[in-house]
Structure 1
Amino acid sequence: MLKSTVCAGLFLPCLVLPALAQGMPRYDVEKYCQEVAGVSGGSAAILNGCMDMEQEAYNILKPDWGGLPARSRSYCDDVAQVSGGSYSILKGCMDMETEASDAPRTFQY
């Protein structure tokens, strides 16, 4: 009985972690957009436009996130975090990765 409990205890996280890993990354959009607006002198129009763009990108990505390739999700999350965490950058990266995987190149001599 103890042996099966230990095995289940060790195996269960293997089943749960991939499901958790499929959740959308959480970025501090307000901070990111404040920084973007700050580059232009603190423009309220830039801030609002940034927030709208980030919300739109998030809303587009969220329903399909778990079905996207894990390697692309991880890579693009890293790319998006370099800028401070941007769903617009995340979406652009995922779009490029999807397009590239749909049309692989071959080399010819």
Structure 2
Amino acid sequence: MSALPSRAQSVPRIDIKATCNAVEAASSGLADPEAVAGCVRDETAAREQARRRWSRYPAASRRECAAEVRIGGAPSYVDLVTCLELAANALSSTPGTE
């Protein structure tokens, strides 16, 4: 559990190439170079989005999402950004949290 606070301080490091190769191999049985390249583009864009917005998210959301993306399967920046956005939307729509 002591690793979680450090994860919340900066965007987690994810090996994009390994993630994309694993995802493509799992879905099709082999890593299609074009699909992997598309995945790498999407993951790179999501990583940059996470870096730009990281400090805007509550620390609790950063910790929870950083831990969640590493549960089962390949970790993903796309999943990280999705988690953070869902958490932000949930907080903004909850009465009394503004």
Q: TM-score, normalised by structure 1?
A: 0.72
SS in 1 for 2:70: helix
> What's the C-alpha RMSD, in Å, of the aligned pairs?
2.2
2:41 corresponding residue in structure 1: 52
2:9 corresponding residue in structure 1: 22
SS in 2 for 1:81: coil
Gaps of 5+ in 1: 1-17
Kept in 2: contact 1:80–1:86 (CA 8 A): yes
> Relative CO higher for 1 or 2, CA cutoff 8 Å, sep ≥ 6?
2
Taking every aligned residue pair, what percent have the same amino acid on both sides? 27
Measure, in 2, the Cα distance between the counterparts of 1:78 and 1:21: 9
Higher alpha-carbon Rg = 1
Is residue 98 of structure 1 aligned with residue 88 of structure 2? yes
Aligned length: 89
Kept in 2: contact 1:37–1:44 (CA 8 A): no
Measure, in 2, the Cα distance between the counterparts of 1:20 and 1:95: 17
1:32 corresponding residue in structure 2: 19
Gaps of 5+ in 2: none
In the TM superposition, residue 19 of structure 1 has moved relative to its aligned partner by: 8.4
- The structure with the greater share of residues assigned to helix is 1
Q: TM-score, normalised by structure 2?
A: 0.80
- In structure 2, the CA distance between the partners of 1:37 and 1:19, relative to structure 1 (3 Å rule), is closer
